[in-house]
Amino acid sequence: MAILHFSIAPEYNSVYLASRTLRDVPYDFRERIIPFTPDCVSIPCTYWNDGDTNFTVGEALEIPMSTPPTFDGILNTPEKKLIFFDANEPEFASIPVPTVKTRIRVWIDHPREPENVIVAWG
């Protein structure tokens, strides 16, 4: 499967990852660098007026990383797809996954305002 690349400058400096568009997303970045629930992962981004956040998304086998991820967990994916969205845009990227529960790993290059985010699934 191909690696997906996209850049975004979300108004509220976070992007959400889920299997379907949710309206109840984890948001307390004071407790965790990457807040999450079994159904949604909140990924911090650069403030929109400071520039874009660059995302690289792909299967874990295609994105070998030598450092531990900032987040490593299991996401419910009953729709068998990952949807990236924010507070204003219901879906700006999606990728199919083969299972109803998907391991997600996220690497970010800054704990509050990352410019680069890597998401590996599987």
Enumerate the domain spans of the chain: 4-121
When the pLDDT of each residue in the chain is averaged and rounded to a whole number, the result is 94
- Find the mean pLDDT for residues 112-118: 97
In tens, the pLDDT along 13-41 reads 999 999 986 667 898 888 889 999 999 99
∠ at Cα 116 (113, 121), nearest 5°? 115
**Average pLDDT of 53-67?**
96
Identify the CATH assignment for 4-121 out of 3.40.640.10, 2.60.40.1220, 2.60.34.30, 2.40.50.140. Answer: 2.60.34.30
CA 14 – CA 99 distance, rounded (Å):
26
